[in-house]
Amino acid sequence: MKHILTLVFTLFTLLNSSYSQIYIEKKWDHTYGGNDFEVLTSLKQTSDGGFILGGHSKSAIGFEVSDSSRGGNDFWIVKTDSAGIFQWDAKFGGNYEDKLFSLDQTSDGGFILGGFTTSDSSGDVSQSPKGGMDFWLVKTDSAGNKLWDKRYGGSDYDWLYAVQETSDGGIIMGGLTYSDSSGDVSQPSLGSDDFWIIKTDASGNKLWDNRFGGNNQDQLYDLKQTPDGGFILGGRTSSDSIFDVTHPPRGDNDYWIVKTDANGNKMWDSRFGGTGKDNFLHLETTSDSGFILGGFTRSNMGADVSEPTRDTSALTNVDRGDAWIVKVDSTGAKQWDKRFGGHWVEDAFGYVSQTSDGGYIMGCATYSNISGDKTENNFGYEQMWLIKTDSAGTKIWDKTIFSNGEDEYAYPIQLADGCFAVACWSYADSAAYKTENGRGNYDYWLLKLCETTQPQLPIANFTISAPALCAGGCFDFENTSYDAGSFQWLFPGATPSSSTKGFPTFICYPDTGHFDVTLIATNASGSDTIIKTGIVIVNPLPLVNITQLGDTLFAPQGFVHYQWWEGNLPLPVDTNYFYVFTNDGFYHVDVLDSVGCPNSDTIYASHVGINEFTSNGISIFVYPNPVVNELKISGLQPFKNGNMRIIDLLGNVIYQARISAEEQIVNLSNFVPGIYFIEVDNNNIKSFARFVKE
């Protein structure tokens, strides 16, 4: 009977699980950036339910970047509300390179920002260099206003990678140092570079520092305060078993963790790795007083790596890797490890942390399509990839975050409502899960995702081949929808006015205006509709007509480009709005306006002599032409007692006089060199002439 009940329960569980498949639903996403390059390195939820994102920026003022660049890269933080809506940003830096790698909200509601600086005392950097590169700490209030900054370092290079407020209101920070005993570094070098931690009070005043390492490279990337008031430090080592490193090498690089007491004294260390390269990047404390470690491995199965590589490709010249997490207890003893990957490269590991159900959520970047542990193809080149596990590290689900570009790292955190926020630095435009175009190069990208048992509808989206065209122009449309099998397009005002193609081309708009485009994308679960209002912009063609004045042809002024033609021969040197012709015949001009719209006109020009001009059957003569000082105008008898005016190319009257003789002389010595026109008239009988002042 007992066996029958067990079988029934097992069948019930299997049947129930088949009806409760977990899907991941995107709730919202937002992009933040400037006109250049933003690299995201940290994401935290704030006490008001919003988010603080931090990294470094090279952008000038524009888009979400509200402050100018100090030098190369600057610290850049972005604060949002709980829906990811941008609230404010702040930038800090000096005259050279300043890069933020870690941040934390402090008990007063402000923030501490940690990274490194190579700047002199300049901009927001208030202290002079200690060495080639120093730890740099910035404290802000809750609105991102700087309260103070502090600089720490030795005589060489020192990188800060992790910062946290401690339970006593002070600050713990850590990274790596190349410096020997000097400046703020109180202990001599152990090898190439060593772990280095600093404890300060709430104002950033140093209380103590300590370093840990072996005879080679030892690089700290993360740290956390532990429940006993001490600290857990995590990084990688390539050292032998020597000095603070008490375990022999597994391969080229291994995970290395160091536990200290509250005063920074070492209690124990542990080392984990395979026979290849294993790069540690993140750790968190767990509810059982242990630790979860995350990074990526390029080792095959062996030593502490209990599973083989997921790479099944035939390529051997690419340095490949899988995400790798290691669970250890409170004494640093390994409990289990798990690796996750597809057939190609997984790298840029972001965060791993324990979830409310006792499992784990982790994120990395992936180049792989469906293979290994990966259940969805990439939409773009490199995508964020999330893996959710149970408490033993067994995968429950994985999710690829789709964009049409390249997304680096993945920083997932669980929210109070059980959903997840995840962020990265992204080089992609609006497509798939991303609803906003990129600002410049790479930008910060933040999403909220929730588990659901409902199958997901497709995501309708598209791009257009040009931001605007001219009347009669044709657009192409690129379908960037995700998980859709059929499409219905609506193009009001265009020919054709609809399409069912995935990529409609030659959609032509004869009339000017702004036009909407609708796309309905459908899959087996239903359809999604997107309407982009006014996305099609059709500009009018410019109005152009050629007029002749003497031997000069004129098109309207104000266009950005003119090309004159004599017959079917282009005139390579005359790209002004006027052209002086020498031969009778057909002349043609092509113009281009400020929005790029073209038009043209043609005229038959009749040449009546360089210096003779005829109007109303009456000729006047000007000479010499070109002229230096004195210009003679003859043939004025029909205009006697009338008026004469000289006009420049802008229509300004430069000279005027009464006509008193058959021939008049005008002194031009004060005229600016250029082209001028003479207008003579008497009782509305007019004639014109053109001359060139040298």
User: Per residue in 553-563, pLDDT tens?
Assistant: 889 999 999 99
**Whether the predicted pLDDT of 6 surpasses 60:** no
Stretch 80-91: mean pLDDT: 98
- Would you say 635 and 621 are in contact if contact means Cβ atoms under 8 Å apart? yes
Averaged pLDDT for residues 581-589: 85
Cα–Cα nearest to 343, from 308, 367, 365? 367
Task: Write the CB contacts of 37 (distance below 8 Å, at least 6 apart in sequence).
Answer: 57, 58, 59, 440, 441, 442
pTM above 0.85, yes or no: no
Structure tokens at 602: 């043609």
Question: How far apart, in whole angstroms, are the C-alpha atoms of residue 468 and residue 470?
Answer: 7
Taking the C-alpha atoms of residue 163 and residue 42, their distance in angstroms, rounded to an integer, is: 11
Q: Which residues, 6+ apart, have CB-to-CB distance to 631 below 8 Å?
A: 622, 623, 624, 625, 665, 666, 668, 691
Are residues 540 and 597 in contact, defined by beta-carbon separation less than 8 angstroms?
yes
Q: What is the DSSP string of 617-639?
A: TEEEEEESSSBSSEEEEE--GGG
Report pLDDT digits (tens) over 24-65.
Answer: 999 999 999 999 999 999 999 999 999 999 999 999 999 999
Residue 649 has pLDDT above 80, yes or no: no
For residue 317, the model assigns a pLDDT of 44
Identify the CA nearest to 426 among candidates 450, 448, 402: 402
When pLDDT is cut at 50, 70 and 90, the band that residue 76 belongs to is very high
In single-letter form, the type of residue at position 308 comes to P
Q: How many CB atoms lie within 10 A of CB 190?
A: 20
Are residues 668 and 675 in contact, defined by beta-carbon separation less than 8 angstroms? Answer: no
Q: Six-digit token pair at 564? A: 């004159």
Which of these ranges, 10-19, 250-259, 571-580, 582-591, has the smallest mean pLDDT? 10-19
Name all contacts of 311-315 with Cβ < 8 Å and 24+ positions apart.
311/341, 311/343, 311/344, 312/343, 312/371, 312/372, 313/343, 313/344
Burial grade of 278 (CB within 10 A; 0-12, 13-18, 19 or more): buried
Percent of the chain residues past pLDDT 70, beyond the cut: 94
For residue range 490-518, list pLDDT tens digits in order.
999 999 999 999 999 999 999 999 999 99
Q: Which runs of E-coded beta strand occur in 355-404?
A: 360-366, 383-389, 395-401
Measure the CA–CA gap between 160 and 197, rounded to whole angstroms. Answer: 9
C-beta pairs of 489-492 under 8 Å, 24+ apart in sequence: 489/517, 489/518, 489/519, 489/520, 490/517, 490/518, 490/519, 491/515, 491/517, 491/536, 492/516
Pairing of strands 552-554, 547-549: antiparallel
Which range (277-281, 485-489, 614-618, 669-673) has the least confidence? 614-618
Contacts of 317 (CB under 8 A, 6+ apart): none
Q: Where are the beta strands (DSSP E) in 238-382?
A: 254-260, 266-272, 278-285, 291-297, 322-328, 334-340, 346-347, 352-354, 360-366
Nearest to 321, CA basis, from 304, 351, 344, 350: 344
Instruction: Name the more confident of 609 and 394.
Output: 394
Q: What confidence category does residue 14 fall into, taking pLDDT thresholds of 50, 70 and 90?
A: very low
Residue 191 reports pLDDT greater than 80: yes
- Position 167 confidence tier, pLDDT thresholds 50, 70, 90: very high
Say what the pLDDT of residue 308 is.
94
Bridge-based pairing state of the strands 74-80 and 51-57: antiparallel
pLDDT value of residue 50: 98
- Mean of pLDDT values over 335-346: 95
CA nearest to 486, candidates 518, 460, 517, 508: 460
* pLDDT of 316 over the 70 cut: no
* 496 preceded by a cis bond (ω within 30 of 0): yes
Q: What is the pLDDT of residues 359-390, one digit of tens each?
A: 999 999 999 999 999 999 898 999 999 999 99
pLDDT in tens, 192-218: 999 999 999 999 999 999 999 999 999
DSSP label of 319? -
